[in-house]
Amino acid sequence: MKGSVDEGLCMGHGMCAALAPGVYEVSELGTNEMGDFEVPPGAEAAALRGARACPERAIVLDENENVSVA
C-alpha cells in the first residue's frame, strides 16, 4: 500500500504516529514530513487507523487493496 502526506496540511497533532508508530514518523515538532511512502507489509490496518485519525486529512492512502480495519 502506498501513501502520501501533504506536509502543508499537517499541523503536528501526531495522531498518525500515536496510532501507527511503525508506519508514521514525525519530527520533534510533531509534524509528519514523510511525503510519499510505502506502508510496511502487514501494517496496512494500522496505517488506515493513523490516517483516519488525522484532523487535517493530510494523509492519503491507496485503499484499492482490500484491507479491513480491526
Q: What is the pLDDT of residues 7-65, one digit of tens each?
A: 999 999 999 999 999 999 999 988 999 999 999 999 999 999 999 999 999 999 997 75
Amino acid at the residue 55: P
Contact 65, 18 (CB under 8 A): no
Contacts of 22 (CB under 8 A, 6+ apart): 40, 43, 46
DSSP state of 67: -
- For the cut 50, the answer to whether the pLDDT of residue 70 exceeds it is no
Which residue intervals of 1-70 are DSSP H helices? 15-19, 44-52
Q: State the cell numbers at 24.
A: 508514521
